[in-house]
């Protein structure tokens, strides 16, 4: 069996026929991709045992309330949040007929100019994107509220952030969604994160904090953001799903793989004789320092969030789902 675990049998929502139809729809949607790969990577079994049952459970939960369901997906860098969203989007859309829209918390990063201003006025570390305080939280709430509005003619513009230039794209290339949605997904590494107790902020957790934030100004400001505007943003979530990575070492390894893929993209652009001097690719030491910006909060979430998230998918060192926990099982789902 290519899967290491399966969705809890007592939480198999909807009928066998409904789930079978969803599996067939997903297989059809991915048929061209699988044909081009020419390999059996066990996707059908994963659809049957994990992803379609998860989507069916989300649909059953959505039917318990009026209006759209807002789902948060949490996971450290490289955990596979975007891939999971893409799978759920296809399953719930093609398989179960829902209107699904989502965006990443990365999409609402503040512009580089705004972060440079924060670096001048608050702390130099805020020039680096990622930690709470570097997102336009008001914009995120406006997007969710707009998508929740029952207006078929409303156009919601969703920003696009280009990590290769470390800046937000002009609004002329922002995505547009017309009308409402059945499921709204917000995915991101710190989605649903809780603030720490003040006492936990005293000791630095790594060299970055020890050498570049010795007085704790940066980490205290990050914590204040979690306790204020980010709490309000995350309060809009109806469900929280966590992709739980096995360790900080895995975070570094998987984030390095992401940067390698970005470098390949830049090489492709270079090969097509387009300018690449403005693109920002990190080497190993730069990635290590970059991840240290997130280490404190990542460690806290790995310790606490599995006891708080509605669903936790535990990943092993090989990036496979090794265990599944449903915090509050649905009754008669």
pLDDT digits (tens, 9 = 90+) for 50-83: 999 999 999 999 999 999 999 999 999 889 999 8
Q: How far apart are CA 323 and CA 321, in angstroms?
A: 6
Nearest to 161 by CA among 82, 224, 228: 82
Q: How far apart are CA 229 and CA 128, in angstroms?
A: 19
Tell me the percentage of the chain whose pLDDT exceeds 70: 90
CB 52 within 8 A of CB 13: no
SS3 314: strand
Give buried/exposed letters for 243-268 (b at 16+ CB in 10 A, else e).
bbbeebebbbebbbeebeebeeebee
Structure confidence at residue 33 (pLDDT):
60
pLDDT, tens digit (0-9, with 9 covering 90-100), for 244-253: 999 998 988 8
Sign of the C-alpha dihedral computed for residues 317, 72, 136 and 86 taken in this order: positive
Name the pairing type of β-strands 69-75 and 239-244.
Answer: parallel
Taking 90 as the threshold, does the pLDDT of residue 295 lie above it?
A: yes
Taking 80 as the threshold, does the pLDDT of residue 279 lie above it?
A: no
Give the pLDDT mean for 265-276: 53
Nearest to 321 by CA among 53, 68, 65: 53
Both tokens of 276, joined, read 């690449």
Q: How many residues does the chain have?
A: 333
| pTM for the whole structure | 0.90
CB 76 within 8 A of CB 312: no
What residue ranges define each of the domains in the chain, with the CATH number in brackets?
9-326 (3.40.50.300)
């Amino acid at each position: 069996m290519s899967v290491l675990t399966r969705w809890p049998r007592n939480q198999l929502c909807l009928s066998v026929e409904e789930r079978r139809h969803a599996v067939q729809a997903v297989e059809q949607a991915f048929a061209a991709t699988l044909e081009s790969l020419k390999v059996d990577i066990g996707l059908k079994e994963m659809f049957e045992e994990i992803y379609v049952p998860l989507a069916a459970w989300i649909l059953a939960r959505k039917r318990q309330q009026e209006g759209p369901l807002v789902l948060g997906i949490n996971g450290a860098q490289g955990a596979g949040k975007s891939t999971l969203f893409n799978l759920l989007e296809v399953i719930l859309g093609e398989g179960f007929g829902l209107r699904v829209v989502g965006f990443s918390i990365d999409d609402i990063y503040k512009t580089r100019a705004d972060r440079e201003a924060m670096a001048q006025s608050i702390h130099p570390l805020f020039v680096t994107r990622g930690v709470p305080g570097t997102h336009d939280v008001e914009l995120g709430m406006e997007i969710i509220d707009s998508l929740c509005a029952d207006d078929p003619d409303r156009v919601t513009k969703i920003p696009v952030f280009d990590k290769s230039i470390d800046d937000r794209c002009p609004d002329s290339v922002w995505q547009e969604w017309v009308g409402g949605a059945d499921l709204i997904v917000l995915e991101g590494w710190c989605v649903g994160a809780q603030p720490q107790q003040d006492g936990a902020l005293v000791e630095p957790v790594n060299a970055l904090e020890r050498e570049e934030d010795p007085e704790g100004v940066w980490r205290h400001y990050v914590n204040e953001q979690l306790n204020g505007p980010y709490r309000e943003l995350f309060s809009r979530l109806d469900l929280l799903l966590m992709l739980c990575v096995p360790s900080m070492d895995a975070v570094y390894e998987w984030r390095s793989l992401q940067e390698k893929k970005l470098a390949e993209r830049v090489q492709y652009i270079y090969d097509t004789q387009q300018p690449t001097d403005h693109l920002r690719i990190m080497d190993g030491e730069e990635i290590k320092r970059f991840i240290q910006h997130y280490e404190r909060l990542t460690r806290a979430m790995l310790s606490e969030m599995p006891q708080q998230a509605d669903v936790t998918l535990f990943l092993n060192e090989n990036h496979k789902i090794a265990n599944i926990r449903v915090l509050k099982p649905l009754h008669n789902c």
